[in-house]
Structure 1
Amino acid sequence: MQKTPIIHLNDVDIYQQDNLVLSSVHLDVYPGEWVYLIGKVGSGKSSLIKVLNAELKLFSGEATIAGYDLRKLKNRELPYLRRKLGIVFQDFRLLPDRSVKENLVFVLKATGWKQEKAINDRVVEVMQKVGMLYSLNRMTHELSGGEQQRVVIARAILNDPDIILADEPTGNLDPETSAELMQIFSELNRKGKTILMATHDYHLIERFKAKTLLCADLKLSNPGKEQLSLDFSELIDQKK
């Protein structure tokens, strides 16, 4: 029996402000799949992720994610969609005036958690998963970039989402730290999480192999293994 895609885009045009960045996008991602998005800066990777997170509106085509129709999504439904999505940003977006624990508690309370014991237990659980339990009471500005990104991953999985959307999660990190974080993503995927990740790091794609799609010339396509290996330096911006 064929699975139903957990992410489905059909003939979708994606705009950043008034600029068309991707045209006639067709995309199916199935439950438990891991998919990379690659492409130069400005090619539409981040815009595609923002569409899936309902940060950018759609005006054409069909688009569903985690059972929600993005063309018909009402504002009151947005928090329920977001609970099914875990978002990992390159720039962290942690609250600098709060401790790590306070950052995570804030998210849980904002998404409807009320019992203090359940909240504390969940915070401990996700921090154990990312190897950061020792940092619960530290301020976020005291953490290294790699440590902050581990906290961001913990924040993303607080509500046990079906899908993790990651936008250049290793973009500002050294290779060793990046590989450690990718191991966390790999373990989450092994346990059934669907991952869609925008990245420019060819070495990580080679090490943690998954389906890879290219954003280029307003199109989303499968570049094929030969094109990916031979022309990768032209397809992506290594300095992003």
Structure 2
Amino acid sequence: MSSAENRRPGRPRHIQSADSALSPRDQILDASARLFVHQGFAATSTREVAEKVGIRQASIYYHFPSGKDEILGELLERSVRPTVDKVAQIEGMCPPEAPETALYVLLLLDVRTLASLPHNTGVLARLPEVTRSPAYEQYDKARRGLEDAYARLGCQVVRPGVLVPGTAGEWLLNHAENVILMRTSGDRISRAAEAAIAASGIRMCGAGQEQIDHASHQAEGILARLLASSHVSKAGSPS
């Protein structure tokens, strides 16, 4: 067999993993996330990822032809895309006369997405070597879209003298991303903590307690419908 054939990416072998519910591709993502977070993106090789999963290094390229940067790109997208893709639905499902409800739902969904990421991969976007990676550009574009959504909704809620309208989007996005720092400290983010972050976000825009209570009451039902529609959409998509 030639050396070129030896280097050819092959199908992964059967993977012995503690979490057999994950597909081979997701096991690669999970192992990469753990290594990237704990020892850095630049310091992690595809060989280490393969060893962590229990496959040949060449098998990484069967699932991710562009290698480590492609893996990083998907991990970054998973931290922002589930929220960005639902902005239009949130705005459509919430009454226009109650923008604080839409803002609360957006905050809650964003925080819940970041709180549920395996190994707190939301922290990756803050690593200097990641911001220099080609994979960062697409993530940054999606994140700016999310900031625009926060700005649009926040400006409908904010009261004079509370926040400068032009800074509402950036402030609200950073507020939601505080959950990344909370997880870095080892805190487990409970449902009550997620709701508290969402509530404090709209409170800082000037929403009163009555508005906060109403938004909180409506949010879980709206969020449940959002997630249910996502499951239906995935189930109905061609494989």
User: The TM-score by the shorter chain falls in which range?
Assistant: under 0.3
Normalising by structure 1, we get a TM-score of: 0.25
- Higher Cα Rg: structure 1 or 2? 2
Q: Which has the higher strand share?
A: 1
Q: Which has the higher helix share?
A: 2
